[in-house]
Amino acid sequence: MTLKKKARRPSEFFTLIELLVVIAIIAVLAGMLIPSLGKAKMRARSIACAGNERQLYPALMMYTDDFDDFLPGNAPVLGGYYMPRLLTYLKSPEILTDCRAKNAPESVEKGYAADSARNVSYGASIYTLSWDTYCKRSEISKPQKKIVFGDSQTAKQSGSSLTNNAAFAHYSGYYLADFSSRHGGEVNFLFADGHMKPLPNLPGGPGGALAYYAHFVGINKLLSGGVYDYNKSLMDGI
């Protein structure tokens, strides 16, 4: 006995219009989901980077404990940059380099070591790790307001011809913090009291520059010039 295959009725098949509608719905859902996934991925990278940068703080504290409260210098005139001085106190040298290598590989300058002054991920503020004199940890005023380290640019990013660009994170000039796509327009900053905070890229002009300046040198340095009152709301909001 031969069984005959039952023919499907036309209503049991997808029509072309129905198929296009399903594809369109999937495309809309994907369009809504992909940006969210991209932001989540970037946020995860920023958190991982902040975790690495946060490890610089106990390393810095151990260094000052071993050197009579003195902070490491950060320039050739003082015997070299901060990175090799803190390596002894870090679990791995990749702590200094992973953020740039993974999140901004296009900024890496070929031919130089990953933890060199040209390519290191984090730059130090010249107002804490000075480039012309040794400072003491106990001399840092307003440590909860003063930046020590931050995501920094390489000379390749800023267009600078200087070889020490990425070893510094500065509020203006050649040693700019890295507000590129590395962390979606924000920079992870480590403050002198050990807390981390991502700061957004502020608009240009005196307000934005002075707001960062307040964090690099300490609020008390601005009180005498009347600048603090002018930008008080901006700086208090950071």
pLDDT digits (tens, 9 = 90+) for 5-35: 555 555 555 677 777 777 777 777 767 666 6
Structure tokens at 226: 């009347």
Task: Answer whether residue 85 is part of any domain.
Answer: yes
Structure tokens at 235: 């700086």
Task: Answer whether residue 192 is part of any domain.
Answer: yes
Side chain identity, residue 101 = A
Say whether pLDDT at 164 is over 70. Answer: no
Sheet strands (E) in 121-167: 122-124, 147-151
pLDDT digits (tens, 9 = 90+) for 134-158: 888 888 877 887 889 999 888 777 6
pLDDT digits (tens, 9 = 90+) for 210-237: 566 666 654 334 333 333 343 343 344 3
Task: Answer whether residue 75 is part of any domain.
Answer: yes
Say which residues have a Cβ less than 8 Å from residue 72's Cβ, sequence separation at least 6.
Answer: 60, 63, 82, 85, 86, 129
Whole-number pLDDT of residue 62: 96
The model's pTM = 0.72
Task: Answer whether residue 218 is part of any domain.
Answer: no
Whole-number pLDDT of residue 9: 53
Mean pLDDT value of segment 164-189 = 75
B/e letters for 112-138, b = 16+ CB within 10 Å, e = fewer, are: bebbbbbbbbbbbbbbbbbbeeebebe
Task: Answer whether residue 211 is part of any domain.
Answer: no
Number of domains forming the structure of the chain: 1
Range of the domain at 121: 19-201
pLDDT digits (tens, 9 = 90+) for 31-88: 766 665 556 666 777 788 999 999 999 999 999 999 999 999 888 888 889 999 999 9
